Structure 1
Amino acid sequence: MQYRNAALPAVALLAALAAAPAVAETTLTIAAMTSPSALDPHYHSTNNNNMALQQIFDSLVEEANSGELKPRLAASWRVVDDLTWEFKLRQGVQFHDGTPFEAEDIAFTLERIPNVPNSPGPFTPYARSIKSVEVVDPLTVRIHTHQPNPFLDYDLTRVLILSRKIHMDATTSGFTSGKLAIGTGPYRYRSFVLNERLSLEANPNFYGAKPAWDRVETRYVSSAGSRVAAILAGEVDLIDTVPVQDVKRLQADSRITISGTDSYGTAYLFPDSGRDQVPFITDKQGKPLARNPLQDRRVREALSLAINRQGIVDRLLAGQGTPAEQFAPPPVQDRARGLPPLATDIERARKLLAEAGYAEGFRMTVHGPNGFFASDSDVLQAIAQGFNRIGVETQVEVLPPANFFTRATNRDFAMFLTTYTANLAANTLRQVAMTRKTETGAGPFNRQHYSNPAVDGPLEEALRTMDPARRLQLTGQSMTALVEDKGVIPVFYLRVNWAARKDRITYDASPNWYTSALYAAPVQR
């Protein structure tokens, strides 16, 4: 897939928008940072894909911004027993082309999820516990699981439902072309150009409340300055990923409303500790090392100690974040309790490197995305400066998100910086830190193939434990083991901000950092 840079100079962006034909009063215009990589709802589980596609497709259950689970295609649901959940379906729902939504579509969708070719971030864990789907009657399905799954309703918020009649032989390219971008959601596909724009229109036959907008025009603009210039000029209604240095300035502007929230997202470093040899690490003379230093827990601890997390939050994020002490932020209810802050200690870091046999340090390149979250490139540079202070000569290489995630999935990097977002710590651990297992779908985002029985054991039990107190204890044990081992190295928790035209819209800030027409409401005049 060829990447096309979406960054435009502010003047060029404004000129392009100004040259566009007049649109209806109920058109929502958005300048968003990151384009979806495809329109296949089961291809890549990442925020930029999911937030775009939830406007077109529907799940059985919806996760509201409050964290509450609400009905979507399922009107209601209940636990029948530890291995059985029953879902009552909405009546009269149609796909955008008029095809009826049927109970059999649920089984079809769940069967498709593990079979999407070349997925860089599979949705498999969300279906991993499901043994079978029983159609009781046209409006009732029972989902039977292999083992107890206390998170099944949450899992199903991430599964967008397809039609077995429309999508039986669907390919990812068929969705991205628009031909198969047919869902039951409140908005219908009009056009899509990768890294440039997505155009949607209201679904006149939507089963729920009438969509707030007749049309939704999203332009993908990786340049933060261009997005800010567009909102200040009144050429767009909403921008996402407001640059941290501009938050206070825009808050003081009487024309603009800032909507922000502490997110479910954690920015973290992922070292490759599983291989004897890794790319992008050498000695100080550029020669290969006998062994990968990241395999030594003392080296990973030293790198963590070299990071000035509070300085990153204060100086690079202008306070729009929080230093991380584990791999789940404070809004996540099942995070570990009582973990201490992650220290910064340069002298201790140097001693640990020496104990591990790297008193002279080594060379390393750290990778990350450019234009995926606020100040991502600057944060990576600050981390590299800390590593240099302890004798690890570190270079930084940033890539466009689509290229970055493809290469990270291919395990091309020694260490990389990215984010993960989920409102359950157990799910974050399952997706990112659990040992990869194709048969269960565990660890789809475990791109460095990390494996630690002290993480896996308690988590496996937590994922089948219906008792909330016991489950919380087990999840905490797993999280504590991961933090102590530095299998991933948490850096900070993201606060996310949107800027909107005060006279046009209000925006309900999403802790999942979703930019979506579903959260934008017209100002009542």
Structure 2
Amino acid sequence: HQLFIVSKKDVESRDAGDVGVKPMGTGPYKFVEWVKGSHLKFTANEAYWGGAPKIKQVELKIITEPATRFAALASGSVDLVSGLPLEMFEQIQQNPKLEILSRPSRRVIYLALGNKAGTPLADVRVRRAIYLAINEDEIIQKVMQGKASPAAQLADSASTGFNPALKRLPFDPEKSKALLKEAGYESGFEITLAGPNDRYVNDAKIAEAAVQYLNKVGIKAKLDVKPKAVFFPEVTSREKFDFYLLSWLDGAYDSARGISTNLATYNKEKGWGGWNGARFSDPEIDALMDQAAAMVDLAERDKLLQKAHVVIQEKVPLIPLHCGIDLYGLVKDRGVKFTPRPERWLVYKEIEKN
């Protein structure tokens, strides 16, 4: 979803579909071939303004099955695997020919909640009860195999507005039940948690665990997971869900973007709420985003956004779960020099191979 500088003459001479599958830009590599579902090939642009890249030929293979990805790495048919499956971690770690590289992920996995009038979720006590019912520490240990760290807010530590003082609400099923009783839902209510099953690390398993925790406090929760190609358009339609699993990685390193995109009331003119699929709406959060948009003093803006994250925790439009760990596998004897980037981009001109 990033578009870099392209040739005006080239773009205007072709239709959008052709440009999309046969791009021409100003980057360090030239597009050679794309076989959908199989691979992409690139060759070095020797005339690149920043200097020709050291790796001259690049083939990006699309391998969706974890076992097949491991086999490709172990056999040496690939040099580098991005998005190493957790279930393959120990096998790769025990293989003397392979190496694992990792760095903390900036991507925050979270559960989004609506607050539509007339529904149980309209009551903040219910939303907080759902938060308190979920044992995130257990999700990290059992579902994520310890390869994640708990998140307390939508922002990661590298983003403007990250609030270091903010902590997750503790797992407390008894307090969750008490809040449900106080809100008039001692016998629970029905709710469906939606999510993707092929986008984030163990996404369906995380959602399944959350549903199980909710049932333990008396909420009659059901699971609705599906491929991302189906799920994401349903989120952005803002008509389908009240409760779903999603994530956010802020490429702009500014948490106002994450809040306005995922939590602010939908407003086409302001560019708000495009991924607010549960249609959560709160005037205080919206007012804070208006203030942030007009604030140029970076220190003051940081304070304002830190305050926004406190307000968000009080209002509970989302339940932050965790940030994972980005894992990569390398074949040791290939001489590949690769440093993982914080946003997980593979920038081939930055990679070297002896």
TM above 0.5 = yes
Looking at structure 1, the residues matched to 241 and 33 of structure 2 have their Cα atoms a distance apart, in angstroms, of 35
Which of 372, 390, 400 is the aligned partner of 2:227? 400
Q: In the TM superposition, what is the alpha-carbon distance from 1:231 to its structure 2 partner?
A: 0.8
Looking at structure 1, the residues matched to 7 and 102 of structure 2 have their Cα atoms a distance apart, in angstroms, of 36
Q: In the TM superposition, what is the alpha-carbon distance from 1:484 to its structure 2 partner?
A: 1.4
Contact 2:152/2:166 (8 A) holds in 1: yes
User: Are 1:161 and 2:8 matched, yes or no?
Assistant: no
1:435–1:164: structure 2 CA closer, same or farther, 3 Å change rule? farther
User: Are 1:467 and 2:311 matched, yes or no?
Assistant: no
Looking at structure 2, the residues matched to 292 and 170 of structure 1 have their Cα atoms a distance apart, in angstroms, of 50
1:257–1:480: structure 2 CA closer, same or farther, 3 Å change rule? same
Alignment of 1:99-498 (within 5 A): 160-168=4-12, 172-178=16-22, 181-273=23-115, 275-276=116-117, 291-411=118-238, 412-422=240-250, 423-498=253-328
Which of 330, 333, 344 is the aligned partner of 1:503? 333
What amino acid is aligned across from residue 338 of structure 1 in structure 2? A
* Secondary structure of residue in 1 paired with 2:310: helix
* Secondary structure of residue in 2 paired with 1:407: helix
Looking at structure 2, the residues matched to 336 and 351 of structure 1 have their Cα atoms a distance apart, in angstroms, of 29
1:295–1:163: structure 2 CA closer, same or farther, 3 Å change rule? farther
1:346–1:518: structure 2 CA closer, same or farther, 3 Å change rule? farther
1:416–1:333: structure 2 CA closer, same or farther, 3 Å change rule? same
Looking at structure 2, the residues matched to 314 and 418 of structure 1 have their Cα atoms a distance apart, in angstroms, of 20
Q: In the TM superposition, what is the alpha-carbon distance from 1:507 to its structure 2 partner?
A: 2.1
Q: In the TM superposition, what is the alpha-carbon distance from 1:518 to its structure 2 partner?
A: 4.1
1:213–1:378: structure 2 CA closer, same or farther, 3 Å change rule? same
1:197–1:324: structure 2 CA closer, same or farther, 3 Å change rule? same
* Secondary structure of residue in 1 paired with 2:121: helix
Contact 1:457/1:478 (8 A) holds in 2: no
Q: In the TM superposition, what is the alpha-carbon distance from 1:169 to its structure 2 partner?
A: 7.8
Q: In the TM superposition, what is the alpha-carbon distance from 1:171 to its structure 2 partner?
A: 5.6
Contact 2:80/2:331 (8 A) holds in 1: yes
1:337–1:456: structure 2 CA closer, same or farther, 3 Å change rule? farther
Tell me: higher relative CO, structure 1 or 2? Use CA pairs within 8 A at least 6 residues apart: 2
Looking at structure 1, the residues matched to 153 and 202 of structure 2 have their Cα atoms a distance apart, in angstroms, of 21
Looking at structure 2, the residues matched to 225 and 365 of structure 1 have their Cα atoms a distance apart, in angstroms, of 31
Deviations 1:208-242 (A, max 9, x none): 12123322222222222221222112121111221
Looking at structure 2, the residues matched to 267 and 396 of structure 1 have their Cα atoms a distance apart, in angstroms, of 17
Alignment of 1:46-61 (within 5 A): 50=2
What amino acid is aligned across from residue 232 of structure 2 in structure 1? F
1:248–1:330: structure 2 CA closer, same or farther, 3 Å change rule? farther
Looking at structure 1, the residues matched to 243 and 167 of structure 2 have their Cα atoms a distance apart, in angstroms, of 24
Deviations 1:158-186 (A, max 9, x none): x52333333248765333332xx111111
1:197–1:400: structure 2 CA closer, same or farther, 3 Å change rule? farther
What amino acid is aligned across from residue 283 of structure 2 in structure 1? P
User: Are 1:521 and 2:352 matched, yes or no?
Assistant: yes
Looking at structure 2, the residues matched to 395 and 305 of structure 1 have their Cα atoms a distance apart, in angstroms, of 18
Aligned pair count reads 350
Alignment of 1:15-26 (within 5 A): none
Looking at structure 2, the residues matched to 260 and 338 of structure 1 have their Cα atoms a distance apart, in angstroms, of 26
Looking at structure 2, the residues matched to 194 and 414 of structure 1 have their Cα atoms a distance apart, in angstroms, of 34
Q: In the TM superposition, what is the alpha-carbon distance from 1:395 to its structure 2 partner?
A: 2.4
RMSD: 2.1
1:516–1:221: structure 2 CA closer, same or farther, 3 Å change rule? farther
Looking at structure 2, the residues matched to 302 and 220 of structure 1 have their Cα atoms a distance apart, in angstroms, of 41
Looking at structure 1, the residues matched to 62 and 114 of structure 2 have their Cα atoms a distance apart, in angstroms, of 32
Q: In the TM superposition, what is the alpha-carbon distance from 1:248 to its structure 2 partner?
A: 4.2
* Secondary structure of residue in 2 paired with 1:166: helix
What amino acid is aligned across from residue 351 of structure 2 in structure 1? A
Q: 1 or 2, which has the higher helix percentage? A: 2
Percent sequence identity over aligned pairs = 28
Q: Which moved more, 1:512-521 or 1:466-475?
A: 512-521
Contact 1:176/1:192 (8 A) holds in 2: no
What amino acid is aligned across from residue 354 of structure 1 in structure 2? K
Deviations 1:183-222 (A, max 9, x none): 1111222232444332222223211121233222222222
**Gaps in structure 2 of 5+ consecutive residues:** none
What amino acid is aligned across from residue 151 of structure 2 in structure 1? A
Looking at structure 2, the residues matched to 482 and 232 of structure 1 have their Cα atoms a distance apart, in angstroms, of 45
Q: In the TM superposition, what is the alpha-carbon distance from 1:472 to its structure 2 partner?
A: 1.1
1:246–1:359: structure 2 CA closer, same or farther, 3 Å change rule? same
Deviations 1:415-442 (A, max 9, x none): 2112110132222223222232212223
Q: In the TM superposition, what is the alpha-carbon distance from 1:519 to its structure 2 partner?
A: 4.4
Looking at structure 1, the residues matched to 130 and 143 of structure 2 have their Cα atoms a distance apart, in angstroms, of 19
Q: In the TM superposition, what is the alpha-carbon distance from 1:481 to its structure 2 partner?
A: 1.1
Looking at structure 2, the residues matched to 222 and 271 of structure 1 have their Cα atoms a distance apart, in angstroms, of 30
Q: In the TM superposition, what is the alpha-carbon distance from 1:492 to its structure 2 partner?
A: 0.7
Looking at structure 2, the residues matched to 193 and 308 of structure 1 have their Cα atoms a distance apart, in angstroms, of 43
1:442–1:314: structure 2 CA closer, same or farther, 3 Å change rule? same
TM-score (norm 2): 0.91
1:313–1:191: structure 2 CA closer, same or farther, 3 Å change rule? same
What amino acid is aligned across from residue 43 of structure 2 in structure 1? E
Alignment-derived partner of residue 42 in structure 1: none
Deviations 1:67-122 (A, max 9, x none): xxxxxxxxxxxxxxxxxxxxxxxxxxxxxxxxxxxxxxxxxxxxxxxxxxxxxxxx
* Secondary structure of residue in 2 paired with 1:494: strand
Deviations 1:11-52 (A, max 9, x none): xxxxxxxxxxxxxxxxxxxxxxxxxxxxxxxxxx4xxxx5xx
